[in-house]
Structure 1
Amino acid sequence: MEYGLSGTDTCLSRFQGKHPMLGIMRWSFRHYTIILAGSGLLWFFISLGTPKINEDIYLLETKRSLDQKFSSKSEEYLQWSSYNVPSRVSHLTYQYLAGALPLEKKTLTVGLSSMQSPTGKYLMSTLRSVFKVSSNYELRHITVLVHLADPDPYWLNETVSIIISLFTPQILRGQLIVIHAPSAAYQHLWSQPHIVFNFSDVKTFRSKQMLDYAFLMSFAANLSDYFLMIKDDIRCTPNFVTIIQQELEARKDKPWTIMESANRGLAGKLCHSMDLPKLAGFLLLFYKDESPDMLLLHFRILQGQKDPIHLSPFLFYHFDRSSSYFPNNSHTCEEPDNEKFQEDSSDIPDNPPAVVYTDMQTLQNHLPQNAYSLDETFFLTPNALPGHQLTVILDEGVNVIRVQVLTGTPIEKLQSLEEGKVELGSNPAGQSKHCTKYTFLGQLWDGQLDCRLKHRQTGHNVSCVRLLVTSPRDNSWVMVRHINIWVNHEE
């Protein structure tokens, strides 16, 4: 028995015969539906695999670099059940040089470490600043803890005598304690004779400084609820203690590991005192490997705090740092705090007309010229090797009075060029006007430099400013945010 078309099919077939466009419309609708769905899926998978902006690329590279550098060693340490620093630290007997333990636990310990160094000459000014800007009410809730981290007995005796003479009331009220970690604490950790310390070796100075702070933190673990790290060369904003207490109150129900000011390194970092043994041990494990910024960043992330929490407004400012790091130079190099640079917005660099040359690998959207522009663009390179340079070649010779170089991200200092130097060039030659003679200006400090030229002759008729890579980390991204030049227009 043959089966024919049903009534409905017969009508539809006849209708299509009279109206052929219906079949085309039905096919077109299916076709475009498939195309749209496929396009949507393609966009979805592309968006998953591609960073939204080019800046994501080096952030991903940084995270990968951190993971490779610290690998399982840091994870294993932070997951250690006792969370204690090594036994050689937890059982140390510290020497009390002035003051004594407070009778009751305070809210905040303000801790700093100091030794014979170009920064150490500001120690008394730093202590005076802490006590001067704090009210009597604020002082009742804090303890200032100073670790004199130098084995030289003459320096120790002289420094303690000065502290006692200047701050006797604070010592008697239990607001100031001065301690000294014995030389045994540094055994098997520090082999360089400290008395002949070379302060121009930035990496070595930084490593010693992290050891000093590790011992400071170990001592401070039970003094208060919170611990604030500062340095021996800063001045404090008035009522900074109250500002910190307000920040703590605002976040009392939210988890956090580190709050921070805009200062680099260990200065301006606030943490829970209960985390100090763990953080001290972390510094002892990696003090030779990385800068304080990178160690604190990695510690914070491992503790579960992904994003930085900033203390506002800016609380600490550095005194000018002398050129005693580099003797026989006719200029003064300061530590270029970003907050100082942003605070004085009227001090805009001149940056006269110039071209920028580099032999480093360049990226399409982050060209060398960006480092010299006055906007927020920057130069970014995936790898910088010893001998590589970024050179500003001026159209005409100028009289330079100040040079500033800022590398790395503004807050966490990721992609900083930590070991490099800046030079001033003269005697331009050839079609490209490259300079044939260079004079050393200053060494980068944690990837940054700010030099004011004291004598006119040093900055006279400058034709080039060169940033030279000396010893970077291998296979690491480097960002140069600004090369700024100020010119004397009166000559």
Structure 2
Amino acid sequence: MSPRRYLPFLLSQKFTSLIQPHMNNGSAAPYGSLSVEARELLSNMSRATPDMHLPSIYSYLPHLLRYPDATAPAFKLSRGRQSATMVLGVPTVKRQVQSYLMTTLGNLIQSMTTEEMTQCLIVVFVAEWDLDYVRQVASQIERKFPEHLESGLLEVISPPQSFYPDMNQLRQTLGDPMERVRWRTKQNLDFAFLMMYAQPKGTFYVQLEDDIQTKKGYIATMKNFALQKTAEKKNWFVLDFCQLGFIGKMFKCVELPYLVQFFIMFYNDKPVDWLLDYLIQTKICNLDKDPKHCKKAKDNVWIHYKPSIFQHVGTHSSLKGKVQKLKDKQFGKIQLYFPHENPPAVVETNIKPYKTYTLQRAYKGESYFWGLLPQQGDTLLLRFQPPVSLKGFLFRSGNVEHPSDRLYNTSVEVEPVRVPRTLPSSLKRTKDGYVVVGEFDDMGVAEGTVDAASLGVVKALRLSVHVESDNWAILSEIHIQTTDSR
């Protein structure tokens, strides 16, 4: 008998030797308190023989036999939340142009209620083998969402490279270039690993991507739709909340093994969204009937919710060089800027705007500012007319479509009408009489309060760029708060 065929038998025999002492009613061990049915099931599980070889993950990924840790995360940042109502799977990979992950996570969390945050689990699956990069992503998430990691809402995991076969030994399929074959093969196995991890953690599982946006109330919408279809005794397999690819596809966690098995069987053959469609066809369609009959049958188990509650916002695919401007037309418009009623001011900047995306319009709340390649020494200046008693400020750079177009290494400075003789130790003065009151963080946000008692009335506020940027810059939110603000 080959080692591969003998392994299940060996494991079965070992399992039998461990449980056999506890299989009688008189045992004082925990197994002795099991019901007759439970003991019978355990006994049946232990009676495998070498004459029958049941298929397992090792049948399709035999290399896993050489790596005992291949089916455990290589990296895991988790509080161990279990019994979630909804598990959201968010796979992410290193992108060459720009990352949408933090914007996506922020939107998913902000669109939940406080109660939903205690009932859901978001699993960020960093599908990279470079552990330094994985830790970098995890560290960024820790800085941005510390309370949600602590509460257990957010988890971060990554797979070991040993889970995957030799990606240079794949068969060329569908006439695709080998680079694309490797990309879609890895995506199939990424999804399988993520689903295996998520399966025991909740009731429903929703597959997402790292470059999407959603709407307020999306969790309640999905939960209520699932409960409604279940109450109607609809034998659904997929509830679909987005018309694009694999985004927004909901499954029952107990049925994820069907998907995992199918993805692992055909990981080298087809893209993951095609495999989902073929799985449904295999389960439902009668080959003796015409395609219309098949579609009608599929619609009974693959149920679409309208309008869509997820939108794809990325333009740069995880496949190198691929640009995709896919949009779900049912979703509606995405908010690209956040208007506020700011005090009267004359605004100016030496950063050239793109088309009509001027600083003036952004300050008035009519659009956002989009400037070309900020350079060291560039400024964005607000001259208040009349001067104001400043209470606080908020500047948000980047937006959901261009999350990397942020202001980096940029300080927030104010010019008091009368320069105070002394300043609090936390404040610094510039050579030209401005006082530094804040700076943009690594997420492209500058937010703070101003001590009006120390600085008095302010006649100008300035954003000063200290380092040349490789990206354009967007200001999607400008909010100036004065002591007169409501």
Which bin holds the TM-score, normalised by the shorter protein?
Answer: 0.3 to 0.5
Name the TM-score, length of structure 1 as normaliser: 0.47
